Chain A
Amino acid sequence: MLPAHGANAAHVTVLQQYSGLAACMPIGDTRGKATRKKGPMSIQLHSPLLDVGALRRDFPILQRTMQGKPLVYLDNAATSQKPRAVLDALDTYYSHSNANVHRGVYELAEEATAAYEAARAKVAAFIGASTQETIFTKNASEAINLVAYAWGRRNVRAGDVVVLTHLEHHSNLVPWQILAAETGAELAFIGLRPDGSLDLGTLDRQLESGRVKLVASTYISNVLGTITPVAEIVHRAHHHGALVLIDAAQAVPHIPVDVRSLDMDFMAFTGHKMLGPMGVGVLYGRRSVLEEMPPFLGGGEMIRHVDYGGSTWNDLPWKFEAGTPSVGDVVGLGAAVDYLQAVGMDAIAEHDKALGRYAVERLQGIDGLHIFGPEERGAVVAFAIDGMHSHDVASLLDESGIAVRAGHHCAQPLHELLGVPATTRASFYLYNDETEVDQLVEGLGTAMRIFGV
């Protein structure tokens, strides 16, 4: 059971207008200095959902120190740490099974191929897709670029519209800017409500123009933590004949995601944010759409037959996997999926949300600190402190052994909209607990004392 919130849950953070820090102040809260106010009693310490202490022992890096202090790792939206099981999978693959995939007839090559394809089956099942629809790329960015190039160049013409949101990571903005510049298509944006949620009325108006070919939206914002209404976006887009791409880089690691029940056409995510190694990402594509698409990159493995005059393409999903893939990393991602499933995605989702809520409650107790984003959010909290630049905040937290991110988090236009050049962001995962949030709050108190704010 989740801790009850009752009347205390009315801590709503509102962006009352699109610019100016003052507009972003939390409302309805009595705020005191961090150092004076201890944690609110409405949330009990230690999540009953996960045995965080036991989980932490699975992550070797969490035993290290930073700046001589125990590491408090709160930069999970940038990348997650890796459990022993994933490190072992990499080691086992390279120690016992390494060979190039899909080509050799000898035992070792067959083992490598089997390990690679077994990992694909795990990832596919994890998101409710078929293996033909589960394409390995090097990260989420490449997965989105694959769609922008292979699908976009064939299907988007001058005058067509690609609809995005103001929340997008540069990964789900820049590829569409490039496509628009090449084709003469236009980009349009779903309006952002003052509380950081999407105004779907603007989407309807854009769709009614009949020119929208694709709606590309984040699932969970890596800055505001906004959880977008994906099912509703898909429903409305499909009604007007537009396809939908979901950037689920911050969603798949944190909540159960099923591509079939959400009915999306494309979904991109990245292995390193979900306990997997860096170097592998995933594109899910609806089979009928993938079949009609030309390849993205040319090279080995993606062909059926090649002569000097031309080539024909391999079957799905290999048609979109040119060249030697990062086999060890894919195997490692398979182990990460096993680990996440053993812990349970429902429990992880509840834990992350509860921790996000606890962090918001504690941070709201700090005078001069402003939180951005809606009340209902993922495990991401971005904030600004009056009189302190986010880099100074992050540098001072670093001196306390706390890793957070400062800057625009690859979402520069969104920060312009928020009216701040940069924010400090704390983001949580299954191995974080309330004690670390308390340490963050304490570290902020120290930082603010040094700056005299």
Chain B
Amino acid sequence: MSSLYTEIIQDAYRRPAHRGTIDHPTHSHQDENPLCGDMLRVQLRVENERVVEAKFDGAGCAISQAAAELLLERIQDQPLSVIRRLDKDDVLEELGMPTISPARLKCALLSLGVLRGALRES
């Protein structure tokens, strides 16, 4: 068994509940992983300062895609005030990994950066 590709990551990567697009998002943002040029887009529907729907799409490695899935699962139904405080450690906690190599950290944190962009851009 691989130490990086744990069951948590493989599950999130293979069976994402949050992959897709939202017809009328209140927030949308996309960005590129500077390591590989992969694009990731995050779309949100926010009602009364609370995320009622969150989707991501784009291509990417298992780490970036799993992180996006797990992050969006975490913010589902959460108030924006809580979401704005999420940081790197929260993402790694979701991935079930206390540490990750610096190169792969960029992949893991891509969705957090895009999510922050979406919240800024509304």
CA distance A363 to B88 in the complex (A): 38
Task: Give A299-332 as 1s and 0s: 1 = Cβ < 8 Å from B's Cβ atoms.
Answer: 0000000000000000000000000000000000
* Interchain CB contact under 8 A, A391 and B61: yes
* Interchain CB contact under 8 A, A389 and B60: yes
- Which of A391, A415, A450 lies in contact with B107, CB distance below 8 A? A391
A399-B3, A450-B5 given as contacts; is B37 within 8 A of A392 (CB)? no
Which residues of B sit under 8 angstroms from A421, Cβ to Cβ?
36-38, 59
CA distance A421 to B2 in the complex (A): 24
Query: Which of B4, B60, B61 has its CB near the most chain A CB atoms (within 10 A)?
Result: B61
Shortest CB–CB separation between residue B30 and chain A, in angstroms?
Answer: 14
* Interchain CB contact under 8 A, A395 and B4: yes
CA distance A396 to B101 in the complex (A): 13
Closest to B38 in A: A421
- Which of B2, B3, B36, B104 lies in contact with A390, CB distance below 8 A? B36
Cβ of B63 within 8 Å of any chain A Cβ, yes or no, is yes
Cβ of B118 within 8 Å of any chain A Cβ, yes or no, is no
Cβ of B46 within 8 Å of any chain A Cβ, yes or no, is no
Task: Give A252-267 as 1s and 0s: 1 = Cβ < 8 Å from B's Cβ atoms.
Answer: 0000000000000000
Task: Give A405-440 as 1s and 0s: 1 = Cβ < 8 Å from B's Cβ atoms.
Answer: 011100010010000011000000000000000000
- Which of A389, A399, A450, A452 lies in contact with B61, CB distance below 8 A? A389
Query: Which B residues between 11 and 59 are near A, CB-CB below 8 angstroms?
Result: 14, 35-38, 59
* Interchain CB contact under 8 A, A412 and B37: yes
Which residues of A sit under 8 angstroms from B2, Cβ to Cβ?
396, 399, 450
Cβ of B62 within 8 Å of any chain A Cβ, yes or no, is yes
CA distance A422 to B62 in the complex (A): 14
- Which of A391, A392, A396 lies in contact with B35, CB distance below 8 A? A391
* Interchain CB contact under 8 A, B37 and A408: yes
Which residues of B sit under 8 angstroms from A408, Cβ to Cβ?
36-37
Chain B interface residue count, CB cutoff 8 Å, equals: 18
Query: Which B residues between 77 and 103 are near A, CB-CB below 8 angstroms?
Result: none
* Interchain CB contact under 8 A, A391 and B63: yes
Shortest CB–CB separation between residue A325 and chain B, in angstroms?
Answer: 32
CA distance A399 to B59 in the complex (A): 23
Shortest CB–CB separation between residue B42 and chain A, in angstroms?
Answer: 18
Shortest CB–CB separation between residue A205 and chain B, in angstroms?
Answer: 31
Interface size class of A (residues with CB under 8 A): 10 to 19
CA distance A421 to B36 in the complex (A): 7
Which residues of A sit under 8 angstroms from B3, Cβ to Cβ?
399
Which residues of A sit under 8 angstroms from B107, Cβ to Cβ?
391
Shortest CB–CB separation between residue A372 and chain B, in angstroms?
Answer: 16
CA distance A408 to B37 in the complex (A): 8
* Interchain CB contact under 8 A, B38 and A422: yes
* Interchain CB contact under 8 A, A407 and B61: no
Closest to A416 in B: B37
CA distance A227 to B36 in the complex (A): 25
Shortest CB–CB separation between residue A226 and chain B, in angstroms?
Answer: 21
Closest to A407 in B: B36
- Which of B1, B14, B59, B61 lies in contact with A392, CB distance below 8 A? B61
A391-B104, A422-B38 given as contacts; is B5 within 8 A of A396 (CB)? yes
Which residues of B sit under 8 angstroms from A391, Cβ to Cβ?
35-36, 61, 63, 104, 107
Query: Which of A407, A421, A450, A452 has its CB near the most chain B CB atoms (within 10 A)?
Result: A421
Shortest CB–CB separation between residue A247 and chain B, in angstroms?
Answer: 22
Closest to A447 in B: B2
Which residues of A sit under 8 angstroms from B38, Cβ to Cβ?
389, 421-422
Query: Which of B2, B4, B60 has its CB near the most chain A CB atoms (within 10 A)?
Result: B2
Closest to B1 in A: A450
CA distance A450 to B2 in the complex (A): 8
Query: Which A residues between 361 and 412 are near B, CB-CB below 8 angstroms?
Result: 389-392, 395-396, 399, 406-408, 412
Which residues of B sit under 8 angstroms from A396, Cβ to Cβ?
2, 4-5
Which residues of A sit under 8 angstroms from B4, Cβ to Cβ?
395-396, 399
Closest to A406 in B: B36
CA distance A452 to B4 in the complex (A): 16
CA distance A380 to B111 in the complex (A): 33
Which residues of B sit under 8 angstroms from A390, Cβ to Cβ?
36, 61
Shortest CB–CB separation between residue A364 and chain B, in angstroms?
Answer: 24
CA distance A407 to B61 in the complex (A): 11
Given contact pairs A450-B1, A451-B62, a sample of 15 additional A-B residue pairs in the complex whose CB atoms are under 8 Å apart: A389-B38, A389-B59, A390-B61, A391-B61, A392-B62, A395-B4, A395-B61, A399-B3, A406-B36, A407-B37, A415-B37, A421-B37, A421-B38, A421-B59, A450-B5
9 nearest A-B pairs in the assembled complex, by CB-CB distance: A389-B61, A391-B61, A422-B36, A392-B62, A407-B36, A392-B61, A421-B37, A450-B2, A421-B38
Jot down 22 A-B pairs with beta carbons below 8 A, ordered by A.
A389-B38, A389-B62, A390-B61, A391-B61, A391-B63, A391-B104, A392-B5, A392-B62, A392-B63, A395-B4, A395-B5, A395-B63, A399-B3, A407-B35, A407-B36, A408-B36, A412-B37, A415-B37, A421-B36, A421-B37, A422-B37, A422-B38
